[in-house]
């Protein structure tokens, strides 16, 4: 059973994951507006991935006897100065999310809540992967500079991304036992 404090913190993270999804859909829409359909596709996949993270929190809170409480999702920005500025904003956002996950782990350890700590370790690894993936895109985008041809090629490459559910994740509620 989750402590009240832990349940509240996990519900806040559920909100943060939904906001992440919302933010990446906003970025996808911005890319579509610029005609960067590959970047848009990458962002749409990212938005769906965040939704799957939210579902993981939703399932875990319920499974541990907690009450899922949904709160308002902040409106994300709708424009950025450039595609590079947008990906830099992704880096900043993911760094923030990593900090939030680490705070949750600290709380789970303080409460000796081993099950929650174990659940959160998946997210600790996921954040390492996400940060590395975005850092690579930012680096490559910086290298393209003003070169439209290079940006077009990178856009095409990013458009290859396909959303796949992380292992052990589902977007529908598990069947009743
Ligand atoms: Fe759900 Fe991008 O972390």
pLDDT in tens, the chain (177 residues): 899 999 999 999 999 999 999 999 999 999 999 999 999 999 999 999 999 999 999 999 999 999 999 999 999 999 999 999 999 999 999 999 999 999 999 999 999 999 999 999 999 999 999 999 999 999 999 998 878 899 999 999 999 998 888 777 766 665 655
pTM over 0.85: yes
Residue 173's pLDDT is 61
User: How many CA atoms are closer than 13 Å to the CA of 87, on its beta-carbon side?
Assistant: 21
Residue 170 to residue 51: CA distance in whole angstroms: 10
27: left (phi over 0), alpha (psi -120 to 50) or beta: alpha
How far does residue 65's CA lie from ligand 1's centre (Å)? 24
As a whole number of angstroms, the distance between CA 90 and CA 138 comes to 9
Q: Is 157 helix (H, G, I), strand (E, B) or coil?
A: helix
| Distance from Cα 156 to the centre of ligand 1, integer Å | 23
Cα dist from 81 to 48, 78, 89, whole Å: 24, 11, 10
Q: Which residues line ligand 1 (CB under 6 A)?
A: 17, 20, 50, 53, 94, 97, 130
Domain spanning 4-158: CATH superfamily: Ferritin, core subunit, four-helix bundle (1.20.1260.10)
CA 130 – CA 90 distance, rounded (Å): 10
- State in Å: Cα 101 to ligand 1 middle: 10
CA distances from 49 to 46, 57, 69, 133, 164 (A): 5, 13, 21, 14, 8
């Amino acid at each position: 059973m989750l402590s009240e404090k832990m349940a509240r913190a996990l519900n806040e993270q559920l909100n943060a994951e939904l906001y992440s999804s919302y933010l990446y859909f906003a970025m996808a829409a911005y890319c579509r507006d610029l005609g960067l359909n590959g970047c848009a596709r990458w962002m749409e996949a990212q938005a769906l991935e965040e939704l799957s993270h939210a579902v993981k929190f939703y399932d875990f809170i319920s499974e541990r006897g907690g009450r899922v409480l949904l709160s308002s999702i902040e409106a994300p920005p709708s424009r950025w100065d450039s595609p590079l500025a947008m990906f830099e904003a992704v880096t900043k956002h993911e760094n923030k999310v990593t900090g939030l996950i680490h705070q949750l782990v600290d709380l789970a350890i303080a409460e000796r809540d081993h099950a929650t700590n174990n659940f959160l370790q998946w997210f600790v690894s996921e954040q390492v992967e996400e940060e590395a993936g975005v850092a690579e895109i930012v680096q490559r985008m910086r290298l393209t500079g003003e070169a439209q041809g290079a940006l077009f090629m990178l856009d095409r490459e990013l458009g290859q991304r396909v959303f796949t559910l992380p292992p052990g994740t589902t977007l529908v509620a598990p069947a009743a036992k």
